[in-house]
């Protein structure tokens, strides 16, 4: 039996129209995708998973005989044309993945682009240039949103990774066109919201990364819903210091100590099992050749800092994960980009992938860690949106989803 069968889908959890609800044959369909992919120094795409994840929506539109207009942002060009942030490499990769011509427009609005759209045949694919070459995109400028909308008959949002941004191509266009969800956006909401609202228990949440402040809302929102909370990464040492232990030079948010103490108390009162690292891999610097030691978390000496969870913590966390039926993981257990501090994160990646559970991984760093650990294929669902998935876990409404047309 596949892991995915553990997940009982909540019907119509999205509550919005999707691309399948539209009569798109012969129509101009504007698909807002998230093609914000990493590029190397030669402007070659190093990871195309975000492009691949939108292919079901693009292929559906092609098969239905729509004129497909694609757009995205890439990087942070700050409203200026910067060749290194051009979507030209995405057009090339898309052409290969779709096995058909992808026409590339030199801009995303204007008479030249309108002319290119007017010449499209049914089933053609046109990729527009980076939206963020225009400062009006991030300002959610109404005239810019209207100019984008002139290109199409229907608007489809399939950019979950940008759905928490109130930008012109995310919320502005929904004022001018029928606005619906693509398959990826729908899938993201079904998995993330479905897991929180109707989890199969035990429900375990694993949080890591640098700071408690970035995950406050998640901890507060999930305190009433989870059975176990595991905290690793830099944020763990704020909790450990809040318990009165010496953490040396480890990363600590001193202004979050009271919150850390209060949330730990709240979880205990709710009978939620709360796990922190019991040992750590420490070093005096992040230098690749620096000496490392493994010590208990109560014995981190001054001048040393915790940079990964230790083997006893790996064992403790892995045992806590073992009986889970729903797992959400956001944030690495240490500075996994460096070999000396990668073992904890990779071990947890293996434990999560081995669990007979619905497993959801969110956040760019965690996604990359799972990929590096070689277990991506064993994870039920890997979210394409870091900030967007965090907002959903905090129980917040995403502007890009709120803007879509409700199912009547």
| Cα distance between residue 327 and residue 303, in whole Å | 35
CB 102 within 8 A of CB 127: yes
**Tokens 């290119």, located at residue:** 116
**Alpha-carbon distance 179 to 256, whole Å?**
40
Alpha-carbon torsion angle 183, 184, 185, 187, nearest 10: 80
CA distances from 377 to 46, 178, 208, 354, 373 (A): 18, 35, 21, 11, 11
Active site residue 75: no
Tell me, yes or no, if 49 is annotated catalytic. Answer: no
Please pick, among 32, 50, 67, 132, the residue that the annotation labels catalytic.
50
The DSSP secondary structure of 339-405, one letter per residue, reads: GGG-HHHHHHHHHHHHSSSEEEEESHHHHHHHHHTT-GGGSSEE-S-HHHHHHHHTTPPPHHHHTSP
Q: How far apart are CA 259 and CA 254, in angstroms?
A: 10
d(CA 113, CA 105): 6
User: Which of 3, 92, 139, 211 is an active site residue?
Assistant: 211
Question: For 18, which DSSP code?
Answer: B
Say if CB 173 and CB 15 are below 8 A apart.
no
Q: How many CB atoms within 10 Å of residue 408?
A: 4
Task: Extract the tokens encoding 123.
Answer: 């089933």
Place of tokens 């480890």: 250
Catalytic annotation on 211? yes
Active site residue 364: yes
Question: What separation in angstroms does the CA of 370 have from each of 143, 331, 378, 403?
Answer: 42, 11, 10, 32
In the numeric block, the tokens 């995405």 are attached to 90
Which of 79, 123, 214, 387 is an active site residue? 387
- How far apart (Å, rounded) are the C-alpha atoms in residues 34 and 161? 6
Catalytic residue selected from 75, 217, 364, 395: 364
Phi, psi for 93 (deg, rounded to 5):
-65, -40
Residues with a catalytic annotation lie at 50, 211, 364, 387
């Amino acid at each position: 039996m596949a892991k995915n069968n553990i997940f009982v889908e909540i019907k119509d959890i999205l509550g919005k129209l999707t691309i399948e609800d539209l009569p798109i044959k012969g129509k101009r369909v504007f698909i807002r995708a998230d093609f914000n992919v990493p590029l190397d120094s030669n402007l070659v795409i190093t990871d195309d998973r975000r492009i691949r994840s939108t292919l079901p929506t693009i292929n559906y539109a092609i098969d239905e005989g729509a004129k497909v207009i694609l757009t995205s942002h890439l990087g942070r060009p700050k409203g200026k044309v910067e060749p290194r942030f051009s979507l030209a490499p995405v057009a090339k990769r898309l052409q290969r993945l779709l096995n058909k011509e992808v026409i590339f427009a030199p801009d995303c609005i204007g008479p030249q682009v309108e002319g290119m759209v007017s010449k499209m045949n049914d089933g053609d694919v046109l990729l527009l240039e980076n939206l963020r070459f225009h400062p009006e995109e991030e300002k959610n400028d109404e005239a810019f949103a209207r100019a984008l909308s002139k290109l199409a008959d229907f608007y489809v949002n399939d950019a979950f990774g940008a759905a928490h941004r109130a930008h012109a191509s995310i919320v502005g266009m929904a004022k001018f066109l029928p606005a619906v969800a693509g398959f990826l956006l729908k899938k993201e909401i079904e998995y993330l919201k479905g897991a929180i609202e109707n989890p199969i228990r035990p429900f375990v949440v694993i949080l890591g990364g640098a700071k408690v402040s970035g995950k406050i809302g998640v901890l507060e929102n999930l305190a009433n819903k989870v059975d176990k909370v595991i905290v690793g990464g830099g944020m763990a040492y704020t909790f450990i210091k809040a318990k009165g232990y010496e953490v040396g030079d480890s990363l600590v948010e001193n202004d979050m100590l009271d919150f850390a103490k209060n949330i730990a108390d709240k979880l205990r009162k709710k009978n939620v099992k709360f796990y922190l690292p019991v040992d750590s891999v420490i070093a005096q610097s992040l230098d690749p050749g620096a000496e490392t030691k493994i010590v208990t978390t109560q014995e981190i000496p001054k001048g040393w800092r915790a940079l990964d969870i230790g083997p006893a913590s790996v064992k403790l966390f892995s045992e806590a994960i073992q009986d889970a039926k729903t797992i959400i993981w956001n944030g690495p257990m240490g500075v996994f980009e460096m070999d000396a501090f990668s073992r904890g994160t990779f071990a947890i990646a293996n434990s999560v992938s081995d669990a007979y559970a619905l497993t959801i991984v969110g956040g760019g760093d965690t996604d990359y860690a799972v990929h590096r650990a070689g277990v991506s294929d064993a994870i039920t669902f890997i979210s394409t949106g870091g900030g967007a998935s965090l907002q959903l876990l905090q129980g917040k409404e995403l502007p890009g989803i709120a803007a879509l047309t409700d199912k009547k």
